[in-house]
Structure 1
Amino acid sequence: MSTTEPADPPVVVTVVHAPACHFCHDAEEALAALAGDFPLVVRSVGIQTDEGRALVAEHRPAMNPLVLVDGEFFSAGRLPRKKLTKALHSRRVPAVGA
């Protein structure tokens, strides 16, 4: 009988995106790539949905997309990849395959 450590829950990244937003598209592509290295759940929420409007009202981003990490404001506008990677490492999220 082998024992395994319980897996850490994945980090939930929510992207509130607007139609025809190139920063939004860029963020979703970057997150898809990072999901290969970290256990992530990426949620894409349209800015015109009830949830999207509520998140924008709560966080008041200056630009799109609004990006939340585990429900907390992370960034608005172009996704800062290095900052996100550092944040994922600091949460002690093991890289996939590590």
Structure 2
Amino acid sequence: MTLVHSAACHFCDDAEEALHELRCEYAIDVSVVDIDSPVGRTLLGKHRPAMNPLVLVDEEFFSSGRLPRKKFIKLLESRGARLTTVGR
């Protein structure tokens, strides 16, 4: 999954922290992209989020603004991403 992160954005910081915590329970790879980087600008141009951060799952739009944790966990559960042992 990809998190397009902006400096001094509390929603961005909150989403990054939550995603890193979820890595303890779910098999997810988190890629954090700076909003001002060439990749970040390209993703913003493509998906045009209403707010930051932009969250992509498998390169597709998942959310913008505050990360909907329950919705994200539901997606992970539906994909069978829960780790069999806690910790990686």
- Relative to the length of structure 1, the TM-score reads 0.83
In structure 1, C-alpha distance between the alignment counterparts of 2:29 and 2:76, rounded to whole Å: 13
How many residues in Structure 1 have an aligned counterpart in Structure 2?
86
- Relative to the length of structure 2, the TM-score reads 0.92
Q: 1:50 to 1:93 in 2, by over 3 A?
A: same
Matches within 5 A, 1:15-34: 15-34=3-22
Structure 1 residue aligned with 2:81: 93
Segments of structure 1 that go 5 or more residues without pairing to the other structure are: 1-12
4+ runs deviating over 6 angstroms: none
Per-residue CA distance 1:30-57 (angstroms, 9 max, x = gap): 0011000001111110010000000000
Letter in 2 for 1:38: Y
- 1:41 matches 2:33: no
Q: Aligned Cα RMSD in Å?
A: 1.2
**Larger Cα Rg: Structure 1 or Structure 2?**
1
Letter in 1 for 2:76: L
Percentage of identical aligned residues: 56
